[in-house]
Amino acid sequence: MEHNKINKVVVAGGGTAGWMAAASLAKLLGRTIEVVLVESDDIPTVGVGEATIPTLIQLHELLGINEQEFVSKVNGTFKLGISFENWRDVNEDYIHSFGFTGKDCWAAGFQHFWLKGQKLGLAKEFGQYCGELVAAQQNKFAVTPKQGLNYAYHIDAGLYAQFLRELAEEHGAKRVEGKIVDVNLNPDTGFIESVGLESAQIVDGDFFIDCSGFRALLIEQALHTGYEDWSHWLPMDSAVAVQTESLTEPIPYTRSIARDSGWQWRIPLQSRVGNGLVFCSRYLSDEDGKKLLMDNIEGAPINEPRVLKFQTGTRRKHWNKNCVAMGLSSGFIEPLESTSIHLIQRSITRLMQMFPYDGIREPDVHEFNSQMASEIENIRDFIILHYNVTNRSDTPFWRFCKSMDIPESLKHRIELFKQTGRVFKVPTELFGENSWTQVMLGQGLMPEQYHPIVNMMDEQELTSFLAGIDQYVTHLVAQLPSHQDFINHYCKAP
């Protein structure tokens, strides 16, 4: 590996991934390195992803971003979770919320107490013991310092990239306009030395971040890193997206509506709604996909629907030689649980934690790739869970999903929960025990037993325990304003 100092980082590509990387490096490491971003005005960004998860708040705190200014500038709304409609079965819905449900004890999660309560007829629906979920159902929201809700954002991806660009340039990042047509490698080491632009300009650097989207100009076209295909588990390969005018006040959650051969998203912003259909081309043509989406939108379309093609999977290495891939160039897991921006953020954070100031060292590269692979595989399993654990068998697509082979790691989690009600979070994993529990119960997987420690409570104590949590949630949500009223007061877009 190279032990030359890293003085200049070149980010290849803009969009959310590119400007997120440039802003983070410039703000947090900018005194020690030069940051240059190359992007072409002629290449549009995908710009579809408009839903985030709560981890983004941590990065914004690191970057010193004012939340009110940010949400206002990106036409944003707030998100307490995702409503999964028709996933368990047609006309059956549940919400995967960002909150914590009930109260755990040292030996067992809340689901064990709830399971006994269900058997005795004492318990409400599982989600009714979670403040975020009940607030979402009632269309209520507030940022409260003490009894805070766990939340994320719905954002306009194009406006977010502009917002991050301003932050990056404010802290010294430089933008070079131009289309990359060549990637120049050192003949001895195979490291990237520079990128050549259509204008014949050469941009050299010591370290490169590939944010060139599905084209993967550096990590794949130049470095031939290889790709791990997951389409046998996640067969979706197409999406069609369109924006519509808002007809109603925005709700504080994303809607994911299962269709015969895929699923539809509906993401409310302050002044418009993002809509899309993710589908498998083996079961639905592009034209039929467009028609299905356009037949199931509310409000007048703002733009023409456009079709995107992708292959689910991950790059074999996210860090190869002196290049790290971020965003779509690193791989793609469909946006069912809004994990795309999170993975960009994790890649940026890990790179800064292991930044090779004095040159690239193999242990850093190996550790980075190992951690990214572990995190992505756990997210992959969580997404597959939604498709595989279902009561639906009404269409060829759902019959395939229900019967398909799944990773051994996921098989183990499903069987563990089914037989014992237990869930354990893997280190460095994004989704915690409560997320797995909410989705497995929501998809119709009911454990065969509960932990015997629950029997330390008699029926009266269990009744009081469940009622106390219910009262707390009811009191918390009763104090919240409507989502729209909070936006009007806190972060109204101009």
What is the per-residue pLDDT for 246? 94
Residues 6+ apart with CB under 8 A from 475: none
> Average pLDDT, whole number, for the chain?
96
Residues 6+ apart with CB under 8 A from 363: none
pLDDT mean over 342-364: 96
Cβ pair 26, 311 in contact under 8 A: no
Q: Give kind and range of the element (H or E) at residue 345.
A: helix 340-353
Q: What is the DSSP string of 240-276?
A: EEEEEE--SPPPSSEEEEEETTEEEEEEE-SSEEEEE
Inform me whether the pLDDT recorded for 47 exceeds 60.
Answer: no
Instruction: Write out pLDDT tens, residues 423-478.
Output: 999 888 999 999 999 999 999 999 999 999 999 999 999 999 999 999 999 999 99
Domain 8-50+156-230+312-360 has CATH 3.50.50.60: yes
pLDDT mean over 342-353: 96
Inform me whether the pLDDT recorded for 3 exceeds 70.
Answer: no
Cβ pair 213, 46 in contact under 8 A: yes
Instruction: Write out pLDDT tens, residues 169-211.
Output: 999 999 999 999 999 999 999 999 999 999 999 999 999 999 9
pLDDT mean over 260-266: 97
What is the per-residue pLDDT for 366? 98
Inform me whether the pLDDT recorded for 147 exceeds 80.
Answer: no
What is the per-residue pLDDT for 213? 95
pLDDT band at 162 (very low <50, low <70, confident <90, very high): very high
Is 411 catalytic? The answer is no
Domain ranges for the chain: 8-50+156-230+312-360, 101-150+389-478, 238-309
What is the per-residue pLDDT for 48? 62
Inform me whether the pLDDT recorded for 1 exceeds 70.
Answer: no
Length of the chain: 494
What is the per-residue pLDDT for 223? 98
Inform me whether the pLDDT recorded for 382 exceeds 70.
Answer: yes
Distance CA 24, CA 258 (A): 36
Inform me whether the pLDDT recorded for 46 exceeds 70.
Answer: no
pLDDT band at 49 (very low <50, low <70, confident <90, very high): low
Q: Give kind and range of the element (H or E) at residue 157.
A: helix 157-170
What is the per-residue pLDDT for 402? 96
What is the per-residue pLDDT for 148? 83
Look at the pTM and tell me if it is higher than 0.85. Answer: yes
Active-site position among 79, 116, 290, 317: 79
